[in-house]
Amino acid sequence: MDEETLQRFQNNAATLGISLHALQEALRRSLLRLCKAGDASAELKWFSELQVDLVHRTKHTITEGIAMSDEVSIIDKSISYLGFVFDGVRRDVMKETKGK
């Protein structure tokens, strides 16, 4: 990989990382607001259903131009990341809505 290609890849990876962090924070804040407005246990049930749906959709992602081994690795990492994000939001919701 030449220097220019490596630099473009690193820039794209940084952009993707920042974008994922922004989306994660938006999701967290939105769900916290929803759960404050209602019954936390009911909201977390809906939240779990959303997670299952997103994992299902991630598993069935169709890619082009990516080696199968890379695709499997990327999808596995994406599913792990979704789990990380959803678990963090669950902890925040439980902490923020404790006693509601």
> Is pLDDT of 31 > 90?
no
pLDDT score of 56: 92
What whole-number distance in Å separates Cα of residue 82 and Cα of residue 74? 12
pLDDT score of 93: 77
What whole-number distance in Å separates Cα of residue 83 and Cα of residue 88? 8
Provide the CA 33 distance to its chain's centre, in angstroms: 18
Q: How many residues does the chain have?
A: 100
- Per the prediction, the chain carries an average pLDDT of 79
Q: How confident is the model at residue 46 (pLDDT cuts 50, 70, 90)?
A: confident
pLDDT score of 63: 76
DSSP tally for the chain: helices H, then strands E? 3, 0
